[in-house]
Every structure is written in structure tokens, then in C-alpha cells.
């Protein structure tokens, strides 16, 4: 267990290889397989190991910037 905020971990990792997808998850960009729309109008991030994470609406613009 780590006693550090996710924000401080995100800063240490840098924004070149990692990005935040929601309040409780940071992912490595090269592990993202695809961005999938959900019926409710929001999106999920599908990782290469088939892990599915919800994408925060407020972070969607930032996340799409990394994918392009």
C-alpha cells in the first residue's frame, strides 16, 4: 500500500507515458487498446490485458489528446 495521493504519483510518473482516466486510476498510454463508447453516453478505456476502466467525463478531452 502506498500512502501518497494519486496526483503526486501522477506528477512523478510524468505526462509523456501515463495519464489519468478517473479519480482512482492512472494508465500507461501504450497499454491502451481502445476507447469504447457506452450506451449511457460515457466511455470506457480498454487496456491490452482486456481490463476495462471507466473514463471520467472531465478527463475525456485530456485523454483523447494523448491518443492522437
d(CA 39, CA 36): 10
In CATH, which of 3.30.450, 2.40.50, 1.10.3470, 1.20.1260 is domain 6-67? 2.40.50
pLDDT in tens, 8-43: 988 888 777 888 999 999 999 899 999 999 998 899
pLDDT tens-digit series, residues 39-68:
988 999 999 999 999 999 888 888 777 776
Q: Give the N- to C-terminal CA distance of the chain in Å, as an integer.
A: 33
CA distance 9 to 33: 23
Strands annotated E in the chain: 18-22, 25-28, 32-37, 43-47, 52-55
Q: Where are the chain's structural domains?
A: 6-67
Amino acid at each position: 500500500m502506498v500512502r501518497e495521493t494519486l496526483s503526486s504519483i501522477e506528477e512523478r510518473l510524468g505526462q509523456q507515458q501515463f495519464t489519468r482516466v478517473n479519480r482512482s486510476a492512472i494508465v500507461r498510454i501504450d497499454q491502451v487498446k481502445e476507447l469504447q463508447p457506452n450506451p449511457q453516453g460515457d466511455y470506457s478505456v480498454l487496456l491490452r490485458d482486456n481490463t476495462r476502466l471507466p473514463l471520467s467525463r472531465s478527463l475525456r478531452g485530456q485523454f483523447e489528446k494523448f491518443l492522437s
